[in-house]
Structures are given as C-alpha cells and as structure tokens.
A and B are shown apart, each in its own frame.
Chain A
Amino acid sequence: MLTVSDLVVAYPNGRVAVDGVSLQVGAGETLGLVGESGSGKSTTARAIVGLAPVRSGAIAVDGVDVVGARGERARRLRQTVQLVFQNPLLSLNPRMTIGQTVREAVGCAPPSPGLVAAAEAERLLGLVGLPPGVSDRYPHQFSGGQLQRVALARALAVRPQLLILDEVTAALDVSIQATVLNLIRRLQRELGLALLYISHDLSVVRYMASSVAVMRAGAIVESGPTQALYDAPEHPYTQALLAAIPTLDRAVAS
C-alpha cells in the first residue's frame, strides 16, 4: 500500500528534518510510527501527502510514485491517502457546519452513481458514531472527542485506502481516547483501511499497530513486529520510551 524508501526531507534553510527513512505499510495493516516532538514523524507523514519538500528518496502509494505529484496524479493521491491531525479545532473550518465540511469532502471523491452528497455526509457522521441531527452544528459546539470523529468522517469521505493518523488522541482525556481508539479499529476492520499510526505514546501504539518503527532525530532507530519490539527493545531510546509510560501496575508494585 505504502512504501517509503530512503526519504530525505530538507527545508530551504538547509535543516534536514527526515534523514533516510524507509517504511512499509501493507493493505489493511497498521504501522505505528513512534517518537518524540521533533523526531520527524509528522514531517514524514506530511511528505507522504506532498506537504513537505522531499530532497531525495521515493514514496510509492499503491505502486505509484507520488513524489512531486501534480494534477491528476496528486488528485488520485489525495483520494487514496488521508491525513488526520492532532487538533481537530484547528483542522476543521470554524465557520462551516460539520455537515458542510463533510459534504465538501464527499464532493471531492470520485463520482459514484446515485450518491447524494448530503445523504452520504449523514451516513459518514453516523459511521463514526455521532448522533443523528448534528450536521448543522459548528465545531465549537462539540467536545474534543466528537470533533475527532468529525475529522475521521471527513477523511473517510473520499473513500481512502490509507489513513495517516497523527497524534489523534494526544489531546483527549484517557477515557475519550479509549472510545476513539476502539472506533478507529472498528473502521479499519469494516473498511479494510491501512493505517500509519503516529504517536509518542507506546502504550497506545502497542494496542493499535501490528508493527512499529521508532524514530529519533529524523531517522528510524528500531523497527519490527510490535510484540517482539516491546518484549525485547534493543535501542536505548526505545527502552527509555517504554520505561516512561505511567502504568498502574508500577504504582502498586512500588
């Protein structure tokens, strides 16, 4: 589904944000991309969808090279890959109702016979678990968890095959996080989505991803099947990330 090889992203000021990253996500699979602020994981995501300047390397989506895609090729890329961000309040237009937002995205999908945008938007909002009748409300009238559902509905409107989820639960309460994670997994099962799941939280990634890549300072320092990597982390950085997760067990033991 997605193959990234030796990706280098450098900004005009010469700063290299991603330095030789390779990764793969198979159809219907989930790769967890883990690292801290500034490690380059979000930049990698942005490069995949053409939002960051690629200096060298290759990115193939469904076998098609997408680096520097323009016109029809870029349109097809956006229909195949969708990105959901951490803060839905910033990524949703505050002056559009959520119905308008999702309808607009439906209009960007390849036309499908008999599809009515308004009805499709309603269906999508239902699919992500929002109650009926909310489509004429504005983003500020929703809680953070609900807004993240709206952002997911919008991303799904073009019927993508790969979702890139960039810290989508980092701003949510743990109780809300659990419901959003369950929703993402259900959507993945039902729609056969491939996921690139980006997070700094290894406990969440373990739950979401079948394999994991750990990034630091623009490079992948360790990767492998989730269980193996968690059972025997080799890189000190992975070990530090694992040790930093607050758990209830640790508390009871101490």
Chain B
Amino acid sequence: MTGPVLEAEGLTVHISTPAGELPLVRDVSLRVEPGDFVGIVGESGSGKTLTTRALSGLLPPGARMEASALRFAGEDLLTLPRRRRDSLLGTRLAMVFQDPSSSLNPARRIGSQMVEAVVAHERLPRRKARELAATRLEQVRIDRPAQRLRQRPHELSGGQRQRVMIAMGLMGNPALIIADEPTTALDVTVQDEVMTLLRTLNREQGVAVLMVSHNIALLSQVCNRIVVMYAGRVVESGPAAAVVGRPGHPYAEALMAVVPDLGMEAGRELPTIAGAPPDALAPPPGCAFAPRCPLAVERCAERPPLVALGAGHAAACWRAEERSC
C-alpha cells in the first residue's frame, strides 16, 4: 500500500446534550503512515477517545462527526457506501479497548467471538476461521490455543483477555490497530507484555498502531510519533523524541512532569498541573490551556495556530518558537 494508512483532516465531533450541541473534538488532523506507531496523549475529557471512535466509525448515539477528509487504507471513508465501509473497517482495522472484560461477551466462548468478523465480512468457512483463530492466539503467545477457543472470558486472566482482543483484531489482516488505553486496567508487568506484543506486531509485521494513553512516559517508549490533545484540539504533534525532548507546548511539558519518576527525590511534592481542564460547555475563547499555564501572556486570549518547530513537529503555542530555541 502506498500513502498513509489513515489520514484525517479537520475532524470535528459534536455531541448533542440538553444544553445544545457540544463540539468535543475540534479540527483534528492526523496521519498514520505504514509502519507508524502513533500515540495520542491527553487527560480525561481531552477528546482523545472520541477521536479514535470517530475514526473507527464507532461513535456513540448522539454524536455526529464532520471532516474535510477521512481516508483509511486508500479508501475515502466519507464517500464509501455504508456496507463497504463497515466491511473495510471490520477487517482492516483492529480495535483494542481499555477493559477487555467488558469488551468480550462473557457468555460466549472465545472461539465463536473471534471468528465472528471474518465469517461475516470475508465469508470464510467457520472451520477455516477457527484454524485461523488458533494461529492468531499462538501468535499473541496464548498457550494451548485450541483449548482456549473453547473457554469463556472469565477463565482467562486480564492480560490473556487483552491478548485475545489483540488476536481477534488480527483475524482480518489489519492495516491499523487502534488501541485505547490498552493497559490501564492491567498490572505493570502485564502492561509490559502487552506493549511488547504491540511493538512486535508493529515492527515485524508492519501493522501501524494508533494508541491512546494518559501516560506520556508509556507512549514515549513505543511511539515514533506523539500527538498531544487538550480540550478537544491537537496542541502538539511530532516525532516522539522531539515532543519528549523539546516540547513546544507547556501542556506537553506538564504531562511529562506529573509522571512519578524513579529518579525523582522521594518525599518531594509531586509536580501537578494547576486548575482543571476547561468546561466543555464554556471553553475559554483563546488558548484553552492558558488559565492553567505558567507561561501565559496577554496574547493567549487569542487562539494560537499550530506552528512548525522542526521536521514534522508543530505546537499550538504563541511562545513555542521562543521556547524551543
């Protein structure tokens, strides 16, 4: 495949509430190239999850999206007929959610859940699909795959369930895995296993990954690109090393400072981000981060555009250039 795996321009998602329509994701542009491992980082309510739901066609009822462009695996999702779009997303896009126990059906066996999509979308015979499912389980290092297919989710541990979710995503030969906080519900060592698995799939099989997390330290270990979201907008994006090493936006810097670090002096007050994210009903007119920002100046009452700081690195801050040099 040539060209990006996923390309979104001007993505906006509105949610209807009793108080009217709220734009919770605003003007987000995003690109995932083949082989990319892209991370989206932000606090709860930053719009990062809603963005991935919009990209994958899984918006909740009451949500409406618009975009000036939305392309996936070479197809235009905005004009593709519904059936073909569902079939494309159902096979080439894999979703991994935060809580594997609530995204697997507790009453059905692993095998029957795993084969569902390929039987529906690719009309694969059920027997062939089960063989494929066993191969995929093996690939995510689940032992005794044939036996696992007959088990139900409660018979597996949390880490195993998450690997089953990933294996399920691999059934359709995906071009992209979207993983939304895939390890938040898991122990640190299991988190390590799941991250290693995603990285292996990315490096060895070239599957692109788009991963959402609130922990920038976790993303910085696996991603080649990082996108920082705040109050529904992209405030910084760039190569992971640049965003981590020379952040252009004070919010990106603040997100790094709050991660407890083994090198930090124990017993010191942990850095925090003052204040709270803005009320979605009444976002501040200018830079949404300005009320919490230690570097805010008068000009921040006006919304800053994304300005380029280096190759593929941009930040939406009036002071980004002066800070990065």
Chain B positions within 8 Å of A174 at CB level: 214-216, 255, 258-260
Q: How far is the CB of A205 from chain B (nearest CB, A)?
A: 9
**A200 touching B272, Cβ below 8 Å:** no
B143 at the interface (CB under 8 A from A): no
Contact A245 B188 (CB under 8 A): yes
B214 A36 Cβ-Cβ under 8 A: no
State the CA gap A241–B189 with chains docked (Å): 6
Q: Is the CB of B191 within 8 A of A251?
A: no
**Given A173-B43, A173-B44, A252-B245, A200 and B259 contact (CB-CB distance below 8 Å):** no
CB closest residue in chain B, given A226: B266
Shortest Cβ gap from B271 to chain A (Å): 7
Report B154 CB to chain A, min CB distance, Å.
Answer: 14
**Distance, CA A202 to CA B245, complexed state (A):** 25
How far, in Å, is A48 (CB) from chain B's closest CB?
22
When distances are taken between beta carbons in the complex, the residues of chain A under 8 Å from B255 are 174-175
On whether the beta carbons of B262 and A245 are closer than 8 Å, the reply is yes
Bound CA span A242–B192, Å? 11
Q: Which of A72-80, A103-111, A112-120, A178-186 contacts B (4 or more CB under 8 A)?
A: A178-186
Q: Are B192 and A207 in contact (CB under 8 A)?
A: no
Instruction: Please measure, in the bound complex, the distance between the C-alpha atom of A230 and the C-alpha atom of B241, giving whole angstroms.
Output: 27
For B267, give the chain A residue with the smallest CB separation: A207
Q: Is A246 an interface residue (CB 8 A)?
A: yes
Shortest CB distance A222–B (Å): 15
Judged by a CB distance under 8 angstroms, whether A190 is at the interface is no
CA of A204 to CA of B214, assembled, Å: 16
* Pairwise interchain contact B189-A250, C-beta atoms closer than 8 A: no
Residue from B188, B190, B264 in contact with A202 in the complex, judged by beta carbons closer than 8 Å: B188
Which of chain B's residues have a CB closer than 8 A to the CB of A230? 262
Contact partners of A143 in chain B: CB under 8 A: 44
Q: Given the known A-B contacts A175-B272, A178-B271, A249-B263, are A240 and B189 also in contact in the complex, defined by CB atoms under 8 Å?
A: yes
Tell me the complex Cα distance, A243–B188, Å: 9
Q: How far is the CA of A147 from the CA of B46 in the complex (A)?
A: 19
> Is A178's CB under 8 angstroms from B258's CB?
yes
Contact B272 A178 (CB under 8 A): yes
Please report which residues of chain A, range 194-247, place their CB below 8 angstroms from some CB of chain B when the two chains form the complex: 200-204, 206-207, 226-227, 230, 240-247
A37 within 8 A of B: yes
Chain B 229-276 residues near chain A, CB threshold 8 A = 240-241, 244-245, 254-256, 258-264, 266-267, 269-273
B124 within 8 A of A: no
> What chain B residues lie within 8 Å of A226 (beta carbons)?
266
Contacts of B267 in A (CB 8 A): 207
Complex Cα distance, B220 from A245, in Å, reads 12
A73 to B92 alpha-carbon distance, docked (Å): 62
Would B258 and A175 count as touching, CB distance under 8 A? yes
A248 to B217, CA, bound (A): 5
Most chain-A Cβ atoms within 10 A of its Cβ — which of B157, B254, B272, B273? B272
A251 to B224, CA, bound (A): 11
Interface residues of B in 179-233 (CB under 8 A from A): 187-192, 214-218, 220-221
Smallest distance from the beta carbon of A135 to chain B beta carbons, Å? 19
Q: Is the CB of A182 within 8 A of B158?
A: no
Cα of A247 to Cα of B244 in the assembled complex, Å: 11
- Whether B43 contacts A252 by the Cβ 8 Å rule is no
**Are A179's CB and B272's CB within 8 A?**
yes
Q: Which residue numbers of A lie inside 8 Å of B, CB to CB? A: 36-37, 143-144, 173-179, 181-182, 185, 200-204, 206-207, 226-227, 230, 240-252, 254
Q: Can you give 30 A-B contacts (C-beta < 8 A)? A: A36-B187, A36-B188, A36-B189, A36-B190, A37-B187, A144-B44, A174-B258, A175-B214, A175-B258, A177-B260, A178-B271, A179-B272, A182-B272, A201-B260, A203-B259, A203-B260, A203-B262, A204-B260, A206-B262, A226-B266, A240-B189, A241-B189, A243-B192, A246-B221, A249-B263, A251-B217, A251-B240, A251-B244, A252-B241, A254-B221
Pairs of residues from A and B, 3 with the lowest C-beta to C-beta distance, nearest first: A251-B220, A36-B187, A244-B188
Interface residues of B (CB under 8 A from A): 43-44, 157-158, 187-192, 214-218, 220-221, 240-241, 244-245, 254-256, 258-264, 266-267, 269-273
